[in-house]
Amino acid sequence: MSEADTITSNAKSNLAFTLMDLPEERRCNMARLYAFCRIVDDVVDEPGMTENERHAALDRWTQVITCTVEPTPGIETEVQKLMQDLQLDPAPLLELIVGCRGDITPVQPKTRHELLQYAYRVAACVGITSATVMGASPAAKEYAIALGYALQLVNILRDVAEDCREHGRVYLPANDMELFGVTVDDLYNQRYNYRTRQLLAYEAALAEKYFCEAEELYQALSVEDRNALIPAQAMSLIYHNVLEKMQDDEYRVFERRYSVNNFRKLWYLLRARIGSFEFPSVAEWGFLYSEKKDSQ
Protein backbone atom coordinates (compact mmCIF):
# COMPACT_ATOMS: atom_id res chain seq x y z
CA MET A 1 0.00 0.00 0.00
CA SER A 2 1.33 3.45 -0.93
CA GLU A 3 1.80 6.19 1.65
CA ALA A 4 -1.08 8.10 0.06
CA ASP A 5 -3.38 5.07 0.40
CA THR A 6 -2.37 4.66 4.04
CA ILE A 7 -3.08 8.33 4.84
CA THR A 8 -6.43 8.18 3.05
CA SER A 9 -7.60 4.95 4.68
CA ASN A 10 -6.53 6.09 8.15
CA ALA A 11 -8.36 9.40 7.77
CA LYS A 12 -11.80 7.74 7.60
CA SER A 13 -13.19 10.90 6.02
CA ASN A 14 -16.37 11.28 3.99
CA LEU A 15 -14.35 11.79 0.81
CA ALA A 16 -12.21 8.69 1.45
CA PHE A 17 -15.45 6.69 1.83
CA THR A 18 -16.87 7.84 -1.50
CA LEU A 19 -13.69 7.04 -3.46
CA MET A 20 -14.56 3.34 -3.45
CA ASP A 21 -16.81 4.05 -6.44
CA LEU A 22 -13.91 5.09 -8.69
CA PRO A 23 -11.94 2.86 -11.07
CA GLU A 24 -8.66 1.75 -9.47
CA GLU A 25 -6.36 4.19 -11.27
CA ARG A 26 -8.53 7.21 -10.52
CA ARG A 27 -9.05 6.05 -6.95
CA CYS A 28 -5.27 5.86 -6.46
CA ASN A 29 -4.83 9.31 -7.98
CA MET A 30 -7.54 10.75 -5.74
CA ALA A 31 -5.86 9.11 -2.74
CA ARG A 32 -2.67 11.01 -3.63
CA LEU A 33 -4.58 14.27 -3.91
CA TYR A 34 -6.45 13.65 -0.67
CA ALA A 35 -3.21 12.79 1.15
CA PHE A 36 -1.66 16.07 -0.02
CA CYS A 37 -4.69 18.04 1.21
CA ARG A 38 -4.68 16.17 4.53
CA ILE A 39 -0.98 16.83 5.11
CA VAL A 40 -1.26 20.53 4.25
CA ASP A 41 -4.19 20.85 6.65
CA ASP A 42 -2.27 19.00 9.38
CA VAL A 43 0.71 21.33 8.96
CA VAL A 44 -1.54 24.09 10.26
CA ASP A 45 -3.36 22.13 12.99
CA GLU A 46 -0.91 19.62 14.44
CA PRO A 47 0.62 20.66 17.77
CA GLY A 48 4.34 20.97 18.39
CA MET A 49 5.32 23.26 15.50
CA THR A 50 6.30 26.91 15.56
CA GLU A 51 4.76 29.38 13.12
CA ASN A 52 8.03 29.50 11.18
CA GLU A 53 8.10 25.71 10.92
CA ARG A 54 4.54 25.66 9.64
CA HIS A 55 5.31 28.26 6.98
CA ALA A 56 8.48 26.38 5.99
CA ALA A 57 6.50 23.14 5.59
CA LEU A 58 3.96 24.88 3.36
CA ASP A 59 6.80 26.43 1.34
CA ARG A 60 8.17 22.94 0.79
CA TRP A 61 4.83 21.68 -0.50
CA THR A 62 4.60 24.67 -2.82
CA GLN A 63 7.86 23.52 -4.38
CA VAL A 64 6.67 19.92 -4.60
CA ILE A 65 3.46 20.67 -6.50
CA THR A 66 5.18 23.14 -8.82
CA CYS A 67 7.85 20.48 -9.47
CA THR A 68 10.68 22.89 -8.61
CA VAL A 69 12.34 20.59 -6.06
CA GLU A 70 13.53 16.99 -5.99
CA PRO A 71 10.90 15.12 -3.97
CA THR A 72 11.75 12.84 -1.09
CA PRO A 73 10.67 9.16 -1.40
CA GLY A 74 7.10 8.52 -0.34
CA ILE A 75 4.25 10.99 -0.40
CA GLU A 76 6.23 13.86 -1.98
CA THR A 77 7.18 11.60 -4.90
CA GLU A 78 3.60 10.34 -5.22
CA VAL A 79 2.13 13.85 -5.28
CA GLN A 80 4.68 15.16 -7.74
CA LYS A 81 4.09 12.17 -10.00
CA LEU A 82 0.36 12.91 -9.88
CA MET A 83 1.00 16.50 -10.95
CA GLN A 84 3.21 15.38 -13.83
CA ASP A 85 1.24 12.35 -15.04
CA LEU A 86 -2.07 14.24 -15.25
CA GLN A 87 -0.43 17.59 -16.12
CA LEU A 88 -2.48 19.21 -13.37
CA ASP A 89 -2.67 22.96 -13.11
CA PRO A 90 -0.94 23.77 -9.79
CA ALA A 91 -2.82 27.07 -9.39
CA PRO A 92 -5.82 25.70 -7.42
CA LEU A 93 -3.54 23.80 -5.04
CA LEU A 94 -1.38 26.88 -4.57
CA GLU A 95 -4.57 28.70 -3.57
CA LEU A 96 -5.28 25.91 -1.07
CA ILE A 97 -1.86 26.48 0.49
CA VAL A 98 -2.57 30.22 0.70
CA GLY A 99 -5.84 29.48 2.48
CA CYS A 100 -4.20 27.08 4.94
CA ARG A 101 -1.37 29.53 5.53
CA GLY A 102 -3.95 32.09 6.63
CA ASP A 103 -5.07 29.72 9.40
CA ILE A 104 -1.64 29.85 11.02
CA THR A 105 -2.44 33.35 12.28
CA PRO A 106 -6.23 33.41 11.78
CA VAL A 107 -8.20 36.58 11.12
CA GLN A 108 -11.99 36.54 11.31
CA PRO A 109 -13.63 37.41 7.98
CA LYS A 110 -15.49 40.70 8.18
CA THR A 111 -17.92 40.06 5.33
CA ARG A 112 -19.46 37.16 3.48
CA HIS A 113 -17.25 38.02 0.53
CA GLU A 114 -14.18 37.37 2.68
CA LEU A 115 -15.73 34.15 4.00
CA LEU A 116 -16.36 32.90 0.47
CA GLN A 117 -12.85 33.88 -0.58
CA TYR A 118 -11.53 31.63 2.18
CA ALA A 119 -13.96 28.83 1.22
CA TYR A 120 -12.85 29.13 -2.39
CA ARG A 121 -9.23 28.57 -1.42
CA VAL A 122 -9.62 25.69 1.03
CA ALA A 123 -12.57 23.87 -0.54
CA ALA A 124 -13.56 25.01 -4.04
CA CYS A 125 -9.98 24.80 -5.29
CA VAL A 126 -9.75 21.25 -3.99
CA GLY A 127 -12.96 20.52 -5.85
CA ILE A 128 -11.61 21.96 -9.11
CA THR A 129 -8.56 19.70 -9.00
CA SER A 130 -10.58 16.72 -7.79
CA ALA A 131 -12.96 17.03 -10.75
CA THR A 132 -10.00 16.81 -13.12
CA VAL A 133 -8.48 13.84 -11.30
CA MET A 134 -11.84 12.05 -11.34
CA GLY A 135 -11.93 12.45 -15.12
CA ALA A 136 -14.48 15.24 -15.57
CA SER A 137 -14.18 17.85 -18.29
CA PRO A 138 -13.51 21.57 -17.70
CA ALA A 139 -17.30 22.08 -17.87
CA ALA A 140 -17.46 20.76 -14.30
CA LYS A 141 -15.50 23.67 -12.83
CA GLU A 142 -18.49 25.80 -11.79
CA TYR A 143 -20.13 22.76 -10.19
CA ALA A 144 -16.94 22.07 -8.24
CA ILE A 145 -16.81 25.66 -7.00
CA ALA A 146 -20.46 25.77 -5.89
CA LEU A 147 -20.17 22.41 -4.14
CA GLY A 148 -16.93 23.50 -2.49
CA TYR A 149 -18.67 26.54 -1.02
CA ALA A 150 -21.55 24.40 0.26
CA LEU A 151 -19.33 21.77 1.87
CA GLN A 152 -17.07 24.31 3.55
CA LEU A 153 -20.01 26.26 4.95
CA VAL A 154 -21.37 23.07 6.50
CA ASN A 155 -17.94 22.37 8.01
CA ILE A 156 -17.84 25.86 9.49
CA LEU A 157 -21.32 25.53 11.01
CA ARG A 158 -20.67 22.06 12.40
CA ASP A 159 -17.25 22.93 13.87
CA VAL A 160 -17.95 26.47 15.08
CA ALA A 161 -17.36 25.61 18.76
CA GLU A 162 -14.24 23.50 18.16
CA ASP A 163 -12.67 26.06 15.82
CA CYS A 164 -13.16 28.85 18.33
CA ARG A 165 -12.12 27.10 21.53
CA GLU A 166 -9.35 24.83 20.27
CA HIS A 167 -7.83 26.86 17.44
CA GLY A 168 -8.87 30.44 18.12
CA ARG A 169 -10.58 30.66 14.73
CA VAL A 170 -13.91 32.27 13.93
CA TYR A 171 -15.07 31.88 10.36
CA LEU A 172 -18.54 33.38 10.76
CA PRO A 173 -18.39 36.91 9.28
CA ALA A 174 -18.09 39.72 11.82
CA ASN A 175 -20.82 41.69 10.03
CA ASP A 176 -23.26 38.77 10.31
CA MET A 177 -22.45 38.25 13.97
CA GLU A 178 -23.04 41.94 14.65
CA LEU A 179 -26.34 41.77 12.77
CA PHE A 180 -27.64 39.10 15.19
CA GLY A 181 -25.94 40.45 18.31
CA VAL A 182 -23.58 37.49 18.74
CA THR A 183 -20.02 38.02 19.99
CA VAL A 184 -16.86 35.95 19.75
CA ASP A 185 -17.10 35.57 23.52
CA ASP A 186 -20.54 33.96 23.03
CA LEU A 187 -19.00 31.37 20.72
CA TYR A 188 -16.00 30.74 22.93
CA ASN A 189 -18.20 30.20 25.98
CA GLN A 190 -20.72 28.20 23.93
CA ARG A 191 -23.73 30.35 24.73
CA TYR A 192 -26.67 28.71 23.03
CA ASN A 193 -29.60 31.11 22.69
CA TYR A 194 -32.07 32.56 20.22
CA ARG A 195 -29.54 34.97 18.72
CA THR A 196 -27.01 32.21 18.11
CA ARG A 197 -29.62 29.98 16.49
CA GLN A 198 -30.71 32.79 14.19
CA LEU A 199 -27.12 33.50 13.17
CA LEU A 200 -26.41 29.84 12.38
CA ALA A 201 -29.70 29.55 10.48
CA TYR A 202 -28.71 32.61 8.46
CA GLU A 203 -25.41 30.99 7.46
CA ALA A 204 -27.15 27.66 6.82
CA ALA A 205 -29.37 29.40 4.26
CA LEU A 206 -26.23 30.41 2.37
CA ALA A 207 -25.06 26.79 2.38
CA GLU A 208 -28.48 25.71 1.05
CA LYS A 209 -28.15 28.24 -1.76
CA TYR A 210 -24.89 26.69 -2.90
CA PHE A 211 -26.19 23.12 -2.60
CA CYS A 212 -29.08 24.09 -4.89
CA GLU A 213 -26.73 25.82 -7.31
CA ALA A 214 -24.40 22.82 -7.36
CA GLU A 215 -27.30 20.44 -8.02
CA GLU A 216 -28.52 22.53 -10.96
CA LEU A 217 -25.03 22.65 -12.42
CA TYR A 218 -24.56 18.92 -11.92
CA GLN A 219 -27.78 18.06 -13.73
CA ALA A 220 -26.72 20.27 -16.65
CA LEU A 221 -23.47 18.34 -17.14
CA SER A 222 -23.00 15.57 -19.69
CA VAL A 223 -23.64 11.96 -18.67
CA GLU A 224 -19.90 11.33 -18.86
CA ASP A 225 -19.13 14.15 -16.45
CA ARG A 226 -21.89 13.12 -14.05
CA ASN A 227 -20.56 9.57 -14.01
CA ALA A 228 -17.03 10.81 -13.32
CA LEU A 229 -18.29 12.98 -10.47
CA ILE A 230 -20.32 10.36 -8.59
CA PRO A 231 -18.05 10.61 -5.49
CA ALA A 232 -18.47 14.39 -5.46
CA GLN A 233 -22.23 14.07 -5.75
CA ALA A 234 -22.24 11.54 -2.92
CA MET A 235 -20.32 14.09 -0.84
CA SER A 236 -23.04 16.61 -1.64
CA LEU A 237 -25.74 14.25 -0.38
CA ILE A 238 -23.78 13.35 2.77
CA TYR A 239 -23.02 16.94 3.73
CA HIS A 240 -26.53 18.11 2.91
CA ASN A 241 -27.81 15.48 5.33
CA VAL A 242 -25.46 16.86 8.00
CA LEU A 243 -26.91 20.31 7.34
CA GLU A 244 -30.46 18.95 7.60
CA LYS A 245 -29.63 17.31 10.93
CA MET A 246 -28.36 20.63 12.27
CA GLN A 247 -31.46 22.42 11.01
CA ASP A 248 -33.85 19.86 12.51
CA ASP A 249 -31.96 20.02 15.83
CA GLU A 250 -31.94 23.85 15.90
CA TYR A 251 -28.15 24.04 15.52
CA ARG A 252 -27.06 22.56 18.86
CA VAL A 253 -23.46 22.62 17.65
CA PHE A 254 -22.13 23.35 21.14
CA GLU A 255 -23.57 20.07 22.45
CA ARG A 256 -22.87 17.52 19.73
CA ARG A 257 -20.98 16.89 16.51
CA TYR A 258 -23.28 16.01 13.63
CA SER A 259 -22.27 13.14 11.36
CA VAL A 260 -23.59 10.45 9.01
CA ASN A 261 -23.11 6.74 9.69
CA ASN A 262 -21.48 4.42 7.15
CA PHE A 263 -24.73 2.69 6.20
CA ARG A 264 -26.29 6.01 5.22
CA LYS A 265 -23.09 7.07 3.43
CA LEU A 266 -23.29 3.90 1.36
CA TRP A 267 -26.92 4.67 0.56
CA TYR A 268 -25.99 8.16 -0.61
CA LEU A 269 -23.20 6.75 -2.76
CA LEU A 270 -25.75 4.43 -4.36
CA ARG A 271 -28.17 7.31 -4.83
CA ALA A 272 -25.45 9.36 -6.51
CA ARG A 273 -24.68 6.50 -8.87
CA ILE A 274 -28.33 5.95 -9.76
CA GLY A 275 -28.86 9.66 -10.23
CA SER A 276 -25.99 9.89 -12.73
CA PHE A 277 -27.65 7.48 -15.15
CA GLU A 278 -29.53 8.85 -18.13
CA PHE A 279 -32.61 6.71 -18.57
CA PRO A 280 -34.40 6.51 -21.93
CA SER A 281 -37.33 8.86 -22.33
CA VAL A 282 -40.90 7.57 -22.68
CA ALA A 283 -40.66 8.08 -26.43
CA GLU A 284 -37.40 6.11 -26.57
CA TRP A 285 -38.89 3.28 -24.54
CA GLY A 286 -41.81 3.16 -26.99
CA PHE A 287 -39.41 3.01 -29.91
CA LEU A 288 -37.44 0.19 -28.30
CA TYR A 289 -40.64 -1.71 -27.57
CA SER A 290 -41.89 -1.37 -31.15
CA GLU A 291 -38.49 -2.51 -32.46
CA LYS A 292 -38.69 -5.59 -30.28
CA LYS A 293 -42.22 -6.42 -31.57
CA ASP A 294 -41.14 -5.98 -35.20
CA SER A 295 -38.25 -8.37 -34.73
CA GLN A 296 -40.50 -11.16 -33.38
Binning pLDDT at 50, 70 and 90, where does residue 218 land?
very high
Angstrom CA distances, 291 to 59, 109, 126, 285, 288, stand at 63, 62, 47, 10, 5
The pLDDT value recorded for residue 225 is 97
**pLDDT at residue 289 is higher than 50:** no
Mean pLDDT of 52-75: 97
Neighbours of 78 (CB within 10 A): 22
Binning pLDDT at 50, 70 and 90, where does residue 290 land?
very low
Range(s) of the chain covered by CATH 1.10.600.10:
106-296
CB 30 within 8 A of CB 134: yes
**pLDDT at residue 14 is higher than 80:** no
CB 183 within 8 A of CB 177: yes
The pLDDT value recorded for residue 281 is 44
Mean pLDDT of 163-185: 96
**pLDDT at residue 250 is higher than 60:** yes
More confident residue, 10 or 193: 193
pLDDT tens string 251-265 = 999 999 999 998 999
The pLDDT value recorded for residue 11 is 64
Q: How far apart are CA 112 and CA 86, in angstroms?
A: 34
Of 110, 212, 206, the C-alpha closest to 156 is 206
- Which CATH code for domain 106-296? 1.10.600.10
CB 203 within 8 A of CB 153: yes
Binning pLDDT at 50, 70 and 90, where does residue 43 land?
very high
pTM, full prediction: 0.90
Of 182, 43, 13, the C-alpha closest to 103 is 43
Neighbours of 261 (CB within 10 A): 8
pLDDT tens string 130-162 = 999 999 999 999 999 999 999 999 999 999 999
Binning pLDDT at 50, 70 and 90, where does residue 293 land?
very low
Q: How far apart are CA 114 and CA 75, in angstroms?
A: 32
The pLDDT value recorded for residue 282 is 41
Q: What is the DSSP string of 52-93?
A: HHHHHHHHHHHHHHTT-SPPPTTHHHHHHHHHHHTT--SHHH
pLDDT tens string 71-85 = 999 999 999 999 999
CB 176 within 8 A of CB 109: no
**pLDDT at residue 283 is higher than 80:** no
HEC profile of 226-256: HHHCHHHHHHHHHHHHHHHHHHHCCCCCCCC
**pLDDT at residue 280 is higher than 60:** no
What's the mean per-residue pLDDT of the chain?
90
Compute CA 76 distance to the chain's CA centroid, rounded to the nearest angstrom.
22
